[in-house]
Chains A and B, each alone.
Chain A
Amino acid sequence: MNVIHTENIKKTYNPDTIPVEALKGVDLSIKQGEFTAIVGPSGSGKTTLLNIIGGLDRPTEGYIEVGQKDISKLSDNQLIDFRRENIGFVFQAYNLIPVLTAKENVEFVMLLQNRSEDERNARTIELLEAVGLGDKIDSRPSQLSGGQQQRVAVARALAPKPTFILADEPTANLDSKSTANLLDIMARLNKEENITFVFSTHDQRVIDRARRVITLEDGVISTDIQQHN
C-alpha cells in the first residue's frame, strides 16, 4: 500500500520575481514500512520535496496523495489538522518546545488530539523508553544533548501514531555517536513496528543504513535504488 504517491510534482519559488525551479517533475511512491533516504547535493530540492510531501508547502503543479488522500485541495487549516493526524516531523533543529519537559513535549500532539490521560501517559513513557530516555522524562530540552533532543523529537513524532515520519536532515547537528544511536532507534522502530520513515541526509553513514535511496539532482529524481544492509 502506498502511503505517499506523487505525480509530476513541480515547485517554482518566486514565480513572479526571480523564479527558482526547485522541483521539475517528481514521480514518487513510498510504501508502508519503507526506510527511505532522500539524498542529493545541496540545493537539489530535498527539503522542498519533503515539505510538499509533509503538507507544509504546496506544489506549483502536480498531484500528491498521502495515505490515499489527495491533499492538494486542503485549506491551510485542514492541512494543519491533516499533519497532526497523519505525519510525524523531525526537523534538523527547533523540534521541541523549550518550556516543556521531554514528557510534555512528547505528550503535546496527543493533547492536541484530545487523547485520554491514561493513553497519553502510557504511550509517552513507552516511547521515551524506546528512544532510550526513560530516565530523562522530566528534563527540559535545554538540559538534554543535541542527540537526546533529536531522540525526544522522534518520540514526539511517533506519539500520535502517524502514517509516516518525515525527517529533514535529522542528524545534521549530531556527532557520529549520536547519529548512530538515533539511526539505531529509527531502524528498530521501522523493523519492529513497521513505521515508515522518509529522511533526507548528506551523511554517507546515514545513507548506508537506508534500504531505499532516492537521489535528487537539480529538481528531478536521478536514481532510485534498493539497498540490502
Chain B
Amino acid sequence: MNTLFKIAWRNVWRSRLRTFVILGAIILGVWAVIFITSLSNGMVKSYINNAVQTEVSHIQIHHPDFLKDRAIEFSVGDADKVLASIQSTKGVKAVTKRTLTNAMLSSSKGARGVQVKAIDFNREKEVTNIATKVIEGEFFEEKGRNPILISRRIADKLKVKVRSKMVLTFTDLSGEVTAASFRVKGIFNTGIAPFDEANVIIRQEDLNRLLAPEAVLINQAPDQKFDVESLTHEFALLVNDTKLVDEIAGDIEFQFPHLKVQTFRQVSPELELYETSIGLTGMIVMTIFMLALIFGIINTMLMAVLERIKELGMLMAVGMNKRSVFSMVVIETLMLGLIGTPIGLFLGYLTVTYFGNAGIDLSSYGEGIEGFGMSTMLYPSLENSLYIQLAIGVFITAILGSLYPAWKAIRLKPVEAIRSL
C-alpha cells in the first residue's frame, strides 16, 4: 500500500504543468463556490435582516380576527397587561405595541391610500430600526402636535417636505369618518420599496385619541371599559436568540390562548423560502462546479493513463494486480483533490472573512438593490458546514472522475501495452 502511495505521489508531479492546471481548476472552483455562495447568502441574510429589523420583527401578536379583516375594532384587550407579560417572557429582548388603521393621506398636491402605523415610539426604537432610517427631519419626540413620518417615495409623490402639512382621513371606532392634520416630522427610507410605498408612521397616542373620540367613550357599556391609552392591534417583539423563536412564540401563545402569535416565518412566508434558498444556492453552485470538475478530472487522468500505457503494461506484466493498478490511479486523483481542496477552502475562507468584515459596497447599483429590500453594503457569509460539504464533494468527484481512467488502465493487456512501442 505504501508503495502505491509513493508511486502515485511521484506520478502526480511527473507532468507538472498538467498537475498545476488541474490543481488550479480545483482551487479556483472551490474558491468560486465559496465566494459565490457566500455572496448569495449575504444578500439573502441582508434581505431577511432588513425585513425583520424594519418591518416584521421576530414575533407578532394580534387579535385573531384582525388578521382576516384589519378592522380597527379587533384590538387586543388589556394591552398593557399583555405587554408586561410578553416583556417578562424568557428570551424576549424587547417588545412594542402599535395601533393600525387604513387611511387616506392627502397633501395639497394629491392623495393616496396608506396604512397608518401608530407606534409607541420609545419602545419602537428598541424593536425596529425605523428611527435610524429617517433621512430628513427627525424621529418622534414627546413634544409637538400630530407629527407624521412618511417615506421618501410618498413625499416625492405627494410633493411634500419636512414640516409640510398633511391630512389623514380615516374611520373612527364609532364608524364616523374623521380627518386630522399632521405635520411631516421626518422622511424615512427603509430600502424596502413595498413598505415605503404603503406605510406612514404616527404616534400611537395621537391615533388612539382620534380613533376614540368623546362620543365613543361616553356611549360604551360600563362593563367594557375602553382604555384609549392602550388601544393596540399589534405587538411586535425581538428575541435574544432567533433559534429559539418558535419556543418563545409557543410560550406566549400558551399565556394568551385567545391571541394569534406568529413568528416572522409565518408573518412573511417568503422569508422562510429565502432561508431555505441559502442552502439550495450552495447546492446548485456546488453541483455545477462538481460537474465541470468531473470532466476536468476524467480528462486529466485519462491523459495520465494513456501517456503511461507501456509502463502500466509493464507493471501488470511483472505482477502488479489489477486492483493495485486501479487503486493507484484513484489515489493519484485523490491526491490532486487533497492538495487542491484545502488551498481553495483556505483562500475562500480568507475571502469570505475579509469581505465579511469589510463588506462589499454595492451603492453604485444602489437604486435597483434597495428596491429589493437589501442594503447597499453586502457582507458575504457562509455556514461552516458548506466548507465540509465542499471538501466531501470534491473528494467524491475525484473518486468518480478517476473511475473511468482507472478502468481504462486495468483494461490494458500487458502484451499489447508493451508492444505498442
Contacts and interface: CB of A to CB of B under 8 A. Distances in A.
A80 B323 CA distance: 11
Nearest to A95: B314
A162 B418 CA distance: 21
Contacts of B324: 112
Nearest to B414: A56
Contacts of B306: none
A107 B315 CA distance: 13
A77 B311 contact: no
Interface stretch (B3-11, B127-135, B237-245): B3-11
A85 B321 CA distance: 12
B10 A100 contact: yes
A15 B276 CA distance: 63
Nearest to B319: A84
A92 B420 CA distance: 12
A99 B315 CA distance: 13
Interface string A57-97: 10000000000000000001100110111000101111101
Interface in B1-54: 2-3, 6-7, 10-11, 14
A67 B313 CA distance: 24
Name, among B6, B7, B415, the residue most crowded by chain A CB atoms within 10 Å (CB to CB).
B415
B310 interface: yes
A97 B14 contact: no
Contacts of B314: 89, 91, 94-95, 97
Name, among B6, B7, B317, the residue most crowded by chain A CB atoms within 10 Å (CB to CB).
B317
Contacts of B2: 111
B318 A57 contact: no
A23 interface: no
B418 A94 contact: yes
A35 interface: no
B316 interface: yes
Contacts of A98: 14, 311
Interface string B399-421: 00000000000000011001101
Given A91-B418, A93-B421, A97-B311, A56 B7 contact: no
A109 interface: yes
B322 interface: yes
A76 B310 CA distance: 18
A212 interface: no
Interface residues of B, number: 25
B310 A80 contact: no
A225 B11 CA distance: 46
B172 to A, nearest CB: 90
B320 interface: yes
Given A56-B414, A57-B415, A94-B418, A81 B319 contact: yes
Nearest to A105: B318
B315 A83 contact: no
A51 interface: yes
Contacts, number: 71
A156 B318 contact: yes
A108 interface: yes
A112 B320 contact: yes
B112 to A, nearest CB: 78
Contacts of A93: 310, 421
Contacts of A57: 415
Nearest to A99: B10
B319 A85 contact: yes
A77 B321 contact: yes
Contact of A109 (B7, B10, B319): B319
Interface in A106-124: 108-109, 111-113
A47 B324 CA distance: 27
B318 A83 contact: yes
Nearest to B421: A93
Contact of A83 (B6, B7, B313, B319): B319
Nearest to B3: A111
A181 B143 CA distance: 111
A30 B316 CA distance: 25
B246 to A, nearest CB: 59
Interface string A180-193: 00000000000000
Given A100-B7, A112-B319, A94 B415 contact: no
B192 to A, nearest CB: 62
A210 B278 CA distance: 77
A89 B314 CA distance: 9
Contacts of B311: 94, 97-98
A81 B321 contact: yes
A56 B3 contact: no
B317 A89 contact: yes
Contacts of A112: 3, 319-321, 324
A108 B415 contact: no
A154 B324 CA distance: 23
Nearest to A113: B319
15 contacts: A54-B317, A56-B415, A57-B415, A83-B318, A83-B319, A84-B318, A91-B317, A92-B421, A94-B313, A100-B6, A100-B7, A100-B10, A104-B3, A109-B318, A157-B318
Interface of A: 47, 51, 54, 56-57, 76-77, 80-81, 83-85, 89, 91-95, 97-100, 104, 108-109, 111-113, 156-157, 160
- The 6 A-B residue pairs whose C-beta atoms are closest, nearest first, are A84-B319, A99-B10, A94-B310, A111-B3, A57-B415, A56-B415
Given A51-B415, A80-B319, A83-B319, 12 more contacts: A47-B419, A57-B415, A84-B318, A84-B321, A85-B319, A91-B418, A95-B314, A97-B7, A97-B311, A108-B3, A111-B2, A160-B319
